[in-house]
Amino acid sequence: MNRRNFLKTSAAVIPSTVALQMLGGGHWVLAQTADFKDDIDVLNYALTLEFLESEFYRQGNSANILRGQEAEYLRQIGADEDAHVQALSQTIMQLGGTPVAKPTVEFGDAFSSRQKFLTTSHTFENLGVSAYLGAAGSIKSKDVLQAAAGIFGVEARHAAVVGSILGLPAEGGVYMGPTETPKPRAEVLAAAKPFIKS
Amino acid sequence: MNDKDPSRTLFDGQGVIKFHSEVDRRRFLKYAGMVGVGSTLALTGVACGTDDNGGTAASPGATASPTGAAAKDADVGILNYALTLELLEAEFYRQGLAGNILSGRERELIQPIGQHEQAHVDALTKTIGDVGGTPAEKPEFQFPPGTFTDKAMFLKTASTLEELGVTAYHGQVTKIESPEILGAAASIAGVESRHAAILAALTGGKPFPAPVEASKDMQEVLDAAKPFIKS
C-alpha cells in the first residue's frame, strides 16, 4: 500500500558526513530557486504539510490509543501543528495571498496501534523538518524566514521526542546526525502524496 | 529577570568561560554590538579596537571593506559567536561524559549530543576558514564544583545551555547574509532543538515550550553568558 512507500522513502537518511561536507565546503544548496514562485508559494507549501499534520494528530489523539505522558506529549504536538496552520494562514493573507484549502486526507491504518501512530508521527515530523530546511533558501522576506525557522525548530523537537518515546536508537532515531538534512519540494510532496486524497 | 534567565540558573552564576587574552574576551563581547551594522570590529583579530562602545564604529585596525566583504565579515562574526557557544557546549559534554554519572538510556541519549557539539565546532571552524575568516580561539572554561559529579545539576545545566543555544541561533536567522551560511546554521539549529527537547524531557521540563522557537539577539545571549566569562 501507498503508506509503506512513504515510510520507506523517508527512512532513507542521507549520511551525516554528506551534510557536513556541504556545511564545510560552502557549496550548500538550500533549494532550487525554481522550486518556489514567491514567499506565498513557500507558505502554502508549508501550510499543506501543516494541514496534514494537524489533521493527523486530531484523528490520532481522538483514537485514544496513548496513555499518560505520551498522550500528553502528542496532544501538545497536535496543538503546535494547529498553531502553525493558524500562523501560516494569517501570514499568507497578510501578504495578500490566498491560503490553500485544507486537503482531504486519509491515514489508512495509522491509528490501529500505538506503534503505528507514533511511527507515522515520527515520519511526518522528520519530513516536516527536511521540508522547512529545503525551502528556507527560497524565502525572501526576513520576517517570513524568522517564522519558518521558528516552526522548523519545533518540528525538530517533535521528531526527537516521538523518536525517543518509540525507544529508537539515539543516533538515527532520536537525532538524525549532527545536522538536519534538507529535502527538495518534489521529494517532500511525493512522500506526502499517499495521504492526500484531494 | 525571571527564573528562565540563564544567568540565574547556569553554573550558579559563576564564571565559566576564561578567554586566553583580553583581546579574545573583547572580541566575544563585541559581537553583541555589531549586529546588523556590518561592522568588521569582531573580525580583525589582533587589530581589535580597545573601546567598549558597542562596536558600531570601525575598528582602528580594520581595513575599509566593500559592501560584499563587509556582509561576509558580519557572517564570520556570527559564525564565531556560534563557534564560541559550541566550544562551551562541546567542552561541557566532554567533561560530563568522561565521568560516570550517566548510564543506560540517559547516557545513550546524551553521548551523541556531545558528538554533535564537537561536529558543530569542527564544521564552524572549517567554514570560517573557508570564507577567509579567523576562527575564534577556544576559551578556557571553568565549571563550578558539582557540575560533572551531580547528575541532576549536570542535566539541568545541559537543558539550560541547549535552550540558550536554540534562542541564539534563531536570533541570527535574519542577520545572516549568505544563503550557504544560513543553510548551515539552520541545519545546526534544528539539531540543537532536538537536544533541547530531549533534555527537557529527561529533566521533567517542557520539551515543547512554544509552537515557534524563541529567539534572543546577541546582546541578550551575551547578558546570559557574561557572568560566566572570566576577564
Nearest to A136 among B130, B183, B212 (CB): B183
Cβ-Cβ contacts under 8 Å between A and B: the total is: 164
- Which of A23, A80, A161 has the CB atom closest to B187's CB atom? A23
Distance CA(A64)–CA(A48), nearest Å, equals 25
Contacting residues of B for A151, CB less than 8 Å apart: 211-213
Cβ-based contacts of A146 with chain B (< 8 Å): 170, 173-174, 215
CB atoms B193 and A156 under 8 Å? yes
Least confident of A95-104, B1-10, B148-157: B1-10
Domains of chain B: 14-228 (1.20.1260.10)
Of A23, A76, A164, the CB nearest to B109: A164
**Mind telling me how many Å the CA of A1 is from chain B's nearest CA?**
31
- How far apart, in whole angstroms, are the C-alpha atoms of residue A10 and residue A6? 6
Q: Per-residue pLDDT for A65 more than 70? A: yes
pLDDT tens readout for residues B108-141:
999 999 999 999 999 999 999 999 999 999 888 8
Residue with C-alpha cell 519530513?
A: A127
Residue indicated by cell numbers 546588523: B36
- The rounded distance, in Å, linking the Cα atoms of B41 and B155 is 36
As a whole number, the mean pLDDT across chain A is 86
- According to the model, what pLDDT value does residue A46 have? 98
Between CA B218 and CA B221 the distance in angstroms is 5
Which residue of chain A has the CA closest to B197? A157
User: Quick one: pLDDT at residue B26?
Assistant: 63
Q: What DSSP string runs through chain A?
A: -HHHHHHHHHH-PPPHHHHHHHHHHT------GGG-SSHHHHHHHHHHHHHHHHHHHHHHHHTT---HHHHHHHHHHHHHHHHHHHHHHHHHHHTT--PPPPPPB--TTTTSSHHHHHHHHHHHHHHHHHHHHHHHTT---HHHHHHHHHHHHHHHHHHHHHHHHTT--TBTTTB-SSS-----HHHHHHHHGGGB--
Taking only Cα atoms into account, the Rg of chain B, rounded to an integer number of angstroms, comes to: 17
Which helix (H) or strand (E) element contains residue B230? strand B229-230
Report the pLDDT value the prediction gives residue B144, as an integer from 0 to 100.
Answer: 81
User: What mean pLDDT is predicted for residues B167-173?
Assistant: 96
Q: Show the cell assigned to A161.
A: 521526542
Q: Is the CB of A175 less than 8 angstroms away from the CB of B193? A: no
The ipTM estimated for the assembled molecules is: 0.86
Considering only CB atoms, A180 lies closest to which of B191, B198, B208, namely B191
**Distance set, CA A173 to CA A165, B109, B224 (Å):** 10, 10, 32
Per-residue model confidence (pLDDT) at position A79: 98
* Residue of B35, B118, B194, B208 to mutate when probing chain A, most A C-beta within 10 A: B194
Q: Which residues in chain B have their CB less than 8 angstroms from residue A31's CB?
A: none
**Residue B97 CA: distances (Å) to CA of A21, A165, B90, B145:** 27, 23, 10, 16
pLDDT by residue (tens digit) across B182-213? 999 999 999 999 999 999 999 999 999 999 99
Instruction: Name residue, grid cell 573583547.
Output: B26
Report the chain A residue with the minimal C-alpha distance to residue B167.
A150
pLDDT grade, residue B179 (50/70/90)? confident
> Percentage of chain A surpassing pLDDT 90?
81
Contacts of A84 in chain B (CB under 8 A): 211
Rounded mean pLDDT, B141-157? 90
Choose from A119-128, B13-22, B51-60 the range with maximum mean pLDDT: A119-128
* A141 or B21, which is more confident: A141
**Chain B contacts in chain A segment 148-187 (CB below 8 A):** 149-154, 156-161, 164, 169-171, 174-175, 177-182
pLDDT tens figures, B24-74: 666 665 543 333 333 222 322 222 333 333 333 333 333 333 456 666 788
| Rounded Cα distance, B149 and B69, in Å | 46
**pTM of the shown model:** 0.81
B6: pLDDT confidence band, cut at 50, 70 and 90?
Answer: very low
From residue A189, how far is each of A45, A178, B134, B146 by CA, in Å?
9, 25, 41, 50
Give the cell for residue B33.
554590538
User: Does residue B101 carry a pLDDT above 60?
Assistant: yes
Q: Is the pLDDT of residue A83 over 60?
A: yes
User: Is residue B13 over pLDDT 60?
Assistant: no
Cβ separation of A153 and B166 shorter than 8 Å?
yes
User: B177 pLDDT exceeds 70?
Assistant: yes
Closest C-alpha among B161, B183, B159 to residue B79: B183
* pLDDT at site B185: 95
- Helix and strand totals (H; E) in chain B: 7, 3
Does residue B214 surpass a pLDDT of 90?
yes
Say yes or no for a CB contact (<8 Å) between A136 and B198. Answer: no
Give the pLDDT of residue B145.
85
Task: Say which residue the cell 543555544 belongs to.
Answer: B165
Domains parsed from chain A with CATH numbers? 1-28 (no CATH), 31-195 (1.20.1260.10)
List of chain B residues whose C-beta atoms are within 8 Å of the C-beta of residue A128: none
More confident residue, A198 or B103: B103
Q: Are B93 and B158 in contact (CB under 8 A)?
A: yes
Give the mean pLDDT of A96-123: 97
The nearest alpha carbon in chain A to B198 belongs to A161
Between A79 and B88, the higher pLDDT residue: A79
> Closest Cα to residue A156, out of B176, B126, B193?
B193
Helix axes B179-202, B151-170, angle to 10 degrees: 150
Q: What is the pLDDT of residue B224?
A: 80
Q: Say which range, A27-31, A166-170, B14-18, B97-101, has the weakest mean pLDDT.
A: A27-31
3-class state of residue B141 by DSSP: strand
Question: Terminal CA-to-CA distance of chain B, rounded, Å?
Answer: 23
pLDDT of residue A31 exceeding 80, the answer is no
pLDDT for the residue numbered B30: 54
